[in-house]
Amino acid sequence: MDGLIGRDERYWEDPFSFLPERFLGSKLDYRGQDFEYIPFGAGRRICTGLPLAVRMVHLMLASLVHSFNWKLPVGTNPHDIDMTEQFGVTLKKATPLHAIAVVDE
């Protein structure tokens, strides 16, 4: 449902474009107050892991980006990566991304 709301042109400008900068300076509250943006759900069944998630997700991502260089398997053209989405409880890539973590010596 979040995915459908997030693609609704009544609430989002250019909803099909990946524009994370749309949130810069935004007053939207991700904690279930603004119903056009409810990544953790809302109300009585809102995600109980929200406080942990908002503290951890950016740290995990930053650690991965900071600790490794990332490359694609030999022969993979970045333009050929299948970005098809697979619908489910969460939206994920239909074809998993194979990325190789490289440790600098």
Q: Rule CB under 6 A: which residues touch ligand HEM?
A: 39-42, 45-49, 52-53, 57
Distance, CA of 77 to CA of 49 (rounded, Å): 37
Taking the CA atoms of the chain, what radius of gyration do you get in angstroms? Answer: 17
Q: Which is nearer to ligand HEM, 48 or 63 (CB)?
A: 48
Q: Which is nearer to ligand HEM, 53 or 72 (CB)?
A: 53
Q: Which is nearer to ligand HEM, 56 or 97 (CB)?
A: 56
Work out how close the CB of 99 gets to ligand HEM at its nearest, in angstroms, rounded to a whole number: 20
Work out how close the CB of 90 gets to ligand HEM at its nearest, in angstroms, rounded to a whole number: 7
Nearest to 102 by CA among 71, 77, 60, 78: 71
Q: Is 47 annotated as a binding residue?
A: yes
Beta bridge partners of 101: 70
Nearest to 82 by CA among 71, 97, 70, 92: 97
Work out how close the CB of 55 gets to ligand HEM at its nearest, in angstroms, rounded to a whole number: 9
